[in-house]
Amino acid sequence: MNNKYFGTIVRNFQENKSISLKTKIITISMLWATILLSAFLVVSVWWLRLLLLAVAVGVTIHVLSYRTTKKN
């Protein structure tokens, strides 16, 4: 992977099945920011809000289930 921004992230994931702490923090922060904005500013149906929040919880657990890449 020769991409300037994502090459190292993708390579580490493919080779080690691990994600750096910085990437985990950014991923989870962006996930929750977009889900919360969508749930409370766009969606007006209560059950759909709950579904969005449940998806966010599931994805958060999934991201955190991967090992954290150790610095070299």
Asked if residue 51 belongs to a domain, the reply is yes
Domain carrying residue 24: 7-68
Query: Domain tally for the chain?
Result: 1
Asked if residue 54 belongs to a domain, the reply is yes
Asked if residue 2 belongs to a domain, the reply is no
Q: Give exposure, 7-33, as e/b (b: 16+ Cβ within 10 Å).
A: eebeebbeeeeebbeebbeebeeeeee
Asked if residue 22 belongs to a domain, the reply is yes
pTM for the whole structure: 0.84
Tens of pLDDT, residues 25-70: 999 999 999 999 999 999 999 999 999 999 999 999 999 999 998 7
Asked if residue 1 belongs to a domain, the reply is no
